[in-house]
Amino acid sequence: MLQRCVCLIVVLMCALLATGAFAVEPVAAAAIETRVDLSFPEVDGLQVLVGDFHIHTVNSDGSVTSSKRVLEAYRYGFDVIAITDHGKTRAYRSARSMADALGIVLIQGFETGLAKNEHLVVLGISEDHQPRDAHRWAETPDASEAYYRDELKTISDTGAVVIYAHPHCGFREPIEWGIAEGIIQGIEVKNDVVASGWNTVASHGTHCYPFAFDWALENNLAVFANSDIHGPRNQASYPATLVFAQERSADSVMDAIRACRTVAWFNGMLWGPEKLLGSLMDACVTVRQASVSAEENYLAIRNRAPLSLKAVI
């Protein structure tokens, strides 16, 4: 079904590392005890950052504060997150100091979309942008609500990137237009919160959007696996997006997304462009001949990634 899909079966290994205290607000200093180690080796001079780009807080329909979202991200090994409340961006301002203290790259964003149809996640929006008519965009310019093309153009003019979240509505004209205009530049292959609903497909032992992966390859879109989390984060096995960035900064992360240097990581699999996955494996796995005798040959295989790999020799 996925002619060009390269799926690498992996098993996440949650190695907990002891950390020291940080000069941050009391809730963080008291709560930080361990951090899951998800560090990858560099790939062709690029840092591999672990991200979640679809997160909600109490500022919309989530149940967790923005500062605690940053703390969760730190404890579970994430390097970069975007807080994407529905039609609101204020969570970014309240979480930024915590993110800076813990070394988490924080991307300003929000979620919006068309009335009763597509949901869109906006990443890298400017601080002075005021979202309009979230999830109520009109499909015609003569409606009382904001026209989707006008809103997408305004968002694009700020330098932000739009991704198609849990693509349950298929590939309708608004999405085709946004991609053709270079405004929609990414798509979720996996969204954790929708589970087996929202027109997901049973594939590779889970429910996801395999057709979105095909669209990504056909239309040069960045692939994402995001949590869309609303409640507390209480386990390490959430979907994640690997971002191949020049440096650990918001600008570099956004540049990597625009260049489609992302890999979706979920349910023991990595989904991404074949060339990028090949480079990742070359960086993570080394193989050498350990010893040779007349009767036996030995290979020494080293895995430098924070996950287990199944190899066929």
Residue-wise burial string across 37-57, b where 16 or more C-beta atoms lie within 10 A, e elsewhere: ebbbeebeebbbbbbbbbbbb
Pairing outcome for strands 16-18 and 34-36: antiparallel
Residue-wise burial string across 138-164, b where 16 or more C-beta atoms lie within 10 A, e elsewhere: beeeeeeebbbbebbeebbeeebbbbb
Q: Could you give the 3-state DSSP secondary structure of residue 26? A: helix
- Say what the pLDDT of residue 32 is: 58
Whole-angstrom Cα distance, residue 88 to residue 54? 13
- Say what the pLDDT of residue 123 is: 98
Residue 18, phi then psi, degrees to nearest 5: -70, 140
Helices 173-180 and 148-157 cross at an angle (nearest 10°) of 30
pTM of the model: 0.89
- Say what the pLDDT of residue 235 is: 77
Residue 194, phi then psi, degrees to nearest 5: -80, -15
Radius of gyration of the chain from its Cα atoms, rounded to whole angstroms: 20
Domain architecture of the chain: domains with CATH: 6-309 (3.20.20.140)
How far from 16 is each of 19, 75, 254, 257, CA to CA, in Å? 9, 9, 29, 29
Residue 182, phi then psi, degrees to nearest 5: 75, 20
Q: What's the one-letter identity of residue 81?
A: I
Tens-level pLDDT at each residue, the chain (313 residues): 333 334 433 322 222 222 333 334 444 444 555 899 999 999 999 999 999 999 999 999 999 999 999 999 999 999 999 999 999 999 999 999 999 999 999 999 999 999 999 999 999 999 899 999 999 999 999 999 999 999 999 999 999 999 999 999 999 999 999 999 999 999 999 999 999 999 999 999 999 999 999 999 999 999 999 999 999 998 767 999 999 999 999 999 999 999 999 999 999 899 999 999 999 999 999 988 887 777 788 888 899 998 888 777 7
Six-digit token string for 64: 């967790």
Helices 90-102 and 66-75 cross at an angle (nearest 10°) of 30
Q: List, as own/partner pairs, every contact residues 171-180 make where C-beta atoms lie below 8 angstroms and the sequence separation is at least 24, other chains included.
A: 171/215, 172/117, 172/118, 173/139, 174/114, 174/117, 174/118, 174/139, 174/148, 175/118, 177/149, 178/152, 179/219, 179/221
Report whether 129 contacts 105 (CB < 8 A). no
